[in-house]
Structure 1
Amino acid sequence: MDGTLNGNKKRKIARRVLVSGGAGFLGAHLCARLVEDGCHVVALDNLATGSIDNLTPLLGHPHFRFVRHDIVDPLDARAGLQAERIFNLACCASPAQYQIDPVKTLRTCVDGALNMLKLAQACGARIFQASTSEVYGEPEQHPQKEGYRGAVSTVGPRACYDEGKRCAETLFFDYHRLHSTDIKVARIFNTYGPMMQLDDGRVVSNLIVQALRNEPMTIHGDGSQTRSFCYVDDLIEGIVRLMDAPAEFTGPVNLGNPTEVTVLELARRIIDITGSRSRLVHRPMPTDDPTRRCPDIALARRALDWEPRVSLDEGLRRTVAWFERRLMSGTLMSGAPVRELEVGRGAA
């Protein structure tokens, strides 16, 4: 886990890029950033939890193409999906959603990662794996450093995601050792921002929507559990910098905001920003829900010259404004299906 990125070095644009999970929250933001950077982007998504609405601004762009595909299924070689860089972001990250079909969640993490690695090997592509802070489980080390091996339950309701992501990391590093596959692995901490789903099930979107509707705001436990919330633009910048880093820097590297806040403090800030009349209601803590979560980002600072720039209050204001516009217009949707298997041909 060594290597540095020269912040003044001009980025070499990869012209052909594939993003699995491209219609999801992070995937759509990444696709937009890559198109803006001049890349030809193919987004893969089965639209189980992602939404084609997230990609609406890109659908007519000559450098963007959408392909509806589930990465659990092998990619058909006849599809002609060639790429210089592959970003594997496919897998729902919301516990409320990924626990609905835990076997499918596990297969998306493992079989999906294997299929993406096979494609990367065939194309000679550099490949990024969106891992997660959940690999640390209920941490016994705080803040969490990349060398910490975690305390994860293999039998709880969150294990399908936590253990799936741990196994995906193993696959990536085995491919790197066995086949010299050019890999990058990031452990992503709690991220929020525009394009989160109304029914995402995660704390930021839940509390914002409840506050805007003046509904009771749900706090699990006493609200003393902590999280570290990173605004989506900062997270995407970290991903891009990691993919631009020298080949010898594989990661895993933590990408997240090192500023730790309690869930109760988060709720109070959202009430202040929205002017909500909501009251706080307490519910039991979900099984295996971590009580503390905060990244040590010293490695990202050193190797990528990266750290978050957007404060929590500013990020929340931007996110609240987005949700407010969607709620007022009635356009806030979740996982909307589309008939088209492919949209756009410019990136083929």
Structure 2
Amino acid sequence: MLPQRGFRRAVVTGGAGFLGSHLCEELLARGTQVVCLDSFLTGGPGNVAHLAERYPSSQFRMVRCDITDFVHVPGDVDLVLHFASPASPIDYLQLPIETLKVGAIGTLHALGLAKEKGARFLLASTSEVYGDPQVHPQPEDYWGHVNPVGPRGVYDEAKRYGEAMTTAYRTTHDVDTAIVRIFNTYGPRMRPHDGRAIPTFIRQALAGEDITVAGDGMQTRSVCYVDDLVRGILALAGSGHPGPVNVGNPHEMTVKQIAEDVVAATGSRSQVRFVERPVDDPQVRRPDTTLARTLLGWEPAVPWQQGLASTVAFFSGLRQAA
């Protein structure tokens, strides 16, 4: 297991998004000052409003900006976490150019900030770089099976380009970089209508609607609770290892099983209804987490039923507040 180091001041791009907001929260809890950058294209200020109320401006700053424009952050920074990007299929299908720009120009600017500050840089990549994989489970040395001109290509290739740019800055400019490949993650602060399976199923179940499962539901996913994921990301950031490193839950479930578990967790009478499967939807998805376990000492700890209950409670609260 690699030794860990702490950070005094971090910049989180996309810090008002689902994952970014949880990262900001955990960094602050560990005593790190945080500058949160977000354009609010898919994230929202409500995700970090409690942090602005809880911490003084010297500890937490929320700055509305677009990382595809030039960004200047005054003062010292020793960690840059680049999480700005549409991440759900609905978002990147509606925002294809913005997705490509933040993966290319946004990554360039975030790397430039890290280079300027002499900071550690961590790129939020994705299991989507493996595409519809022909190797299962997916290890980090698998190059993937991606359709660059399919509907998901804008996201997949933006992240693959971001990995190449991050590697180039490491080899050319000696920037201290890391790449984390994030597998399916769930938890509080997901948007009910973001198109991903778990929030969609929970929203439908709480409303008493049919649960719409794509295809026959036998395609598999490995879902990781957000608290576990954040631990893994920060373990990689603190390790000095360049990655890429898979962070996700190696336990595999069918999408149909996820839907049935959501129905049970919500106490809903909703029925599962099968709908047409999206183009290039992966048949299998499960990380080989050997590197994360051996290098970082990381494994997911939150059981699926416990994480699902917390997520259902969050969505129930949204419905009651509406």
- TM, length-normalised to structure 1: 0.90
Cα pair 1:13 1:38 within 8 Å, conserved: no
Give the residue type in structure 2 aligned to 1:288.
Answer: D
**Distance in 2 separating the partners of 1:200 and 1:119:** 30
Aligned-partner SS, 1:99 = helix
Deviation at residue 92 of structure 1 after TM alignment = 1.2
Q: Report the counterpart of residue 340 of structure 1 in structure 2.
A: none
Q: How many residues align?
A: 319
- For residues 53-202 of structure 1, the aligned pairs below 5 Å read 53-60=46-53, 61-62=55-56, 63-75=59-71, 77=72, 79-80=73-74, 82-202=76-196
> Structure 1: which 4+ aligned runs deviate by more than 6 Å?
none
Structure 2 runs not aligned, ≥5 long: none
Q: Report the counterpart of residue 301 of structure 2 in structure 1.
A: 309
Cα pair 1:192 1:204 within 8 Å, conserved: yes
Aligned-partner SS, 2:309 = helix
**Distance in 1 separating the partners of 2:96 and 2:172:** 30
Aligned-partner SS, 1:43 = strand
**Distance in 1 separating the partners of 2:63 and 2:75:** 10
Determine whether 1:250 maps to 2:247. no
**Distance in 2 separating the partners of 1:294 and 1:81:** 40
Q: Percent identity?
A: 46
Determine whether 1:221 maps to 2:218. no
**Distance in 2 separating the partners of 1:94 and 1:206:** 11
Give the residue type in structure 1 aligned to 2:311.
Answer: T
Determine whether 1:325 maps to 2:321. no
Residue of structure 2 aligned with 1:290, choices 266, 279, 282? 282
> Looking at both structures, which has the greater relative contact order when contacts are Cα pairs under 8 Å and sequence separation is at least 6?
1
Deviation at residue 256 of structure 1 after TM alignment = 0.2
Cα pair 2:122 2:237 within 8 Å, conserved: yes
Cα pair 2:6 2:238 within 8 Å, conserved: no
Structure 1 runs not aligned, ≥5 long: 331-348
**Distance in 1 separating the partners of 2:97 and 2:44:** 22
Residue range with higher mean Cα deviation, 66-75 or 133-142: 66-75
Question: Considering only aligned residues, what root-mean-square deviation do their CA atoms show, in Å?
Answer: 1.0
Give the residue type in structure 1 aligned to 2:310.
Answer: R
Residues 157-187 of structure 1, C-alpha deviation per residue, up to 9 Å, x if partnerless? 1100000000000000011000110001100
**Distance in 2 separating the partners of 1:37 and 1:13:** 9
Residue of structure 2 aligned with 1:210, choices 190, 193, 204? 204
